[in-house]
Amino acid sequence: MNIKVPKVEIILLLLSLVLIFSLSANLFLIDKAVYYYKSLNLLRLDPLEHKTEKDNKVNISAEEGSPVIILYGDSRIAQWHPKLLIPGATIINKGLEGQTTAQLRLRLESDVIANSPDMVIFQAGINDLKTIGLFPKHKEAIITNCKQNLEFIIKQISNQNIDIVVLTIFPNGKPELIRSWLWSDEIDNGVVLVNNSLLKMSNSKIHVINADNFLKAVKYIRPHFKKDMLHLNQAGYQQLNDQLQPNVLRLLSK
């Protein structure tokens, strides 16, 4: 026996599903709007965001003779776990979520140079370049400023006779549905341009490592290293550790 569902009921069901989806999407967008509104106002209160990370409130202390390594950069540095293991070294993470190269440039003296580390491991740039999706007309200026800030930071550190290991900007994952509205291929092109600029900076104190060589597959980050579109998971950081540890040990033994 076939039971026919009236067309009106089917239409009502579809409308209900559309309404539920619409309400869920609006709640999600409201939540995001509140989050970014709070973030904007926190940034106005503390432009360098020193108060957002407990680690940045304390002075570096290490045993005499123990080499000090500072990890410096954005969230990709801040989320570094599992940690880099260098026997006998004191490793301090000075990464801060969401920071641009302009912010990193401004806190360079207080958070890095003033602490006289033996080595700095540095990675940043994506938070500048992702704004190309918001301000496409300013693409050239965004890329140029990013390059200039990175070059300034790297040279300021190396000029203090501090070894700096520079990681190129990590590859992204494929944009999720929501983020794809504000993402652009021009962002990926910007990453390539900035990374090519970084790769030309190597000298006796500046050691540039191309992260694409072990994190990237064709266009995007290797799926098994991906936490989300912009960040590494634990396997990704372990791969980073495996690639860096021999180089860091070699430089410290010079």
3-state secondary structure of 216: strand
Residue range 55-252 forms a domain whose CATH class is alpha beta
Q: Please give the structure tokens belonging to residue 30.
A: 């409201």
Cβ atoms of 175 and 133 within 8 Å: the answer is: no
The domain locations on the chain are 1-45, 55-252
| pLDDT at residue 3 in the model | 58
- Residue 34 — pLDDT band, cuts 50, 70, 90? confident
| pLDDT at residue 55 in the model | 46
Q: Say how many residues make up the chain.
A: 254
Q: What is the dihedral of CA 107, 109, 111, 112, to 10 degrees?
A: 130
- Residue 41 — pLDDT band, cuts 50, 70, 90? low
- Residue 15 — pLDDT band, cuts 50, 70, 90? confident
Strand partners, 220: 217
| Percent with pLDDT over 70 in the chain | 85
Q: Which positions ≥6 away from 53 have C-beta within 8 Å?
A: 78, 96, 97
Strand partners, 217: 220
pTM of this prediction?
Answer: 0.83
Cβ atoms of 142 and 190 within 8 Å: the answer is: yes
Mean pLDDT (whole number) for 108-124: 97
Using the structure block, give the residue that is written with the tokens 């597959």.
Answer: 217
Report the distance separating Cα 150 and Cα 164, nearest Å.
12
In 6-76, DSSP assigns E strands to: 68-73
Query: Residue 160: is its pLDDT beyond 90?
Result: yes
Mean pLDDT (whole number) for 30-36: 69
Give one word for 177, left, alpha or beta, with left for phi > 0 and alpha for psi -120 to 50: alpha
| pLDDT at residue 127 in the model | 97
Task: Centre a 10 Å sphere on the Cβ of residue 126 and count the other Cβ atoms it contains.
Answer: 25
